[in-house]
Structure 1
Amino acid sequence: MSQLAVLALAAGGAIALQASMNAQLGVLLKSAMLATSVAFLCSCLFTVAALLTATKQYPQWHEVRAVPIYLWFSGGALSAFGVAMFYYLIPKMGVGSMMSYALSGQIIIAVLASHFGWFDLPVKPLSLVKLIGAVTLIFGVFLLNLEPSNGH
Structure 2
Amino acid sequence: MTIPNIFLALGLGAIISIYFPMIAQSAKILGSGPLANVPFFGIAFAASIAIALATGNRLGDLKKVPEIPPWLLTAGIMSAGLIIGSSYIIPRIGIGPFFVLLVAGQVLAGMVFGQLGLFGMAASPLTFAKIGGAAMVVGGVYLVTTG
TM-score by length of 2: 0.88
User: CA offset at residue 26 of structure 1?
Assistant: 0.9
Contact 2:27 2:36 in 1 (8 A): yes
After TM superposition, what 4+ stretches of structure 1 lie above 2 angstroms from structure 2? 55-61, 63-67
Q: Which residue of 2 is the match for residue 115 of structure 1?
A: 115
CA distances 1:86-110 after superposition (whole Å, capped 9, x unpaired): 1111111111111111111111111
User: CA offset at residue 67 of structure 1?
Assistant: 2.8
User: CA offset at residue 60 of structure 1?
Assistant: 8.8
Q: Which residue of 2 is the match for residue 41 of structure 1?
A: 42
User: CA offset at residue 52 of structure 1?
Assistant: 2.0
Structure having the larger proportion of residues in helix: 2
Query: Is 1:22 aligned to 2:3, yes or no?
Result: no
Distance in structure 1 (CA, Å) of the matches to 2:11 and 2:36: 23
Structure 2 residue identity aligned to 1:137: V
Contact 1:115 1:124 in 2 (8 A): yes
Q: Which residue of 1 is the match for residue 106 of structure 2?
A: 106
For structure 1, the 5+ residue unaligned runs are 148-152
Correspondences of 1:45-124 after superposition (within 5 Å): 45-56=46-57, 59=61, 64-72=65-73, 74-124=74-124
Distance in structure 1 (CA, Å) of the matches to 2:67 and 2:28: 42
Contact 1:27 1:91 in 2 (8 A): no
Q: Which residue of 2 is the match for residue 150 of structure 1?
A: none
CA distances 1:115-143 after superposition (whole Å, capped 9, x unpaired): 21112112211111001101110110110
Greater displacement, 7-16 / 109-118:
109-118
Distance change in 2, residues 1:60/1:44 (3 Å): closer
Contact 1:36 1:83 in 2 (8 A): yes
CA distances 1:5-49 after superposition (whole Å, capped 9, x unpaired): 111111111011011111111112211111122222211111111
Distance in structure 1 (CA, Å) of the matches to 2:106 and 2:56: 29
Distance in structure 2 (CA, Å) of the matches to 1:31 and 1:64: 31
Structure 1 residue identity aligned to 2:78: L
TM-score by length of 1: 0.86
Contact 1:114 1:121 in 2 (8 A): yes
User: CA offset at residue 64 of structure 1?
Assistant: 4.7
User: CA offset at residue 59 of structure 1?
Assistant: 4.9
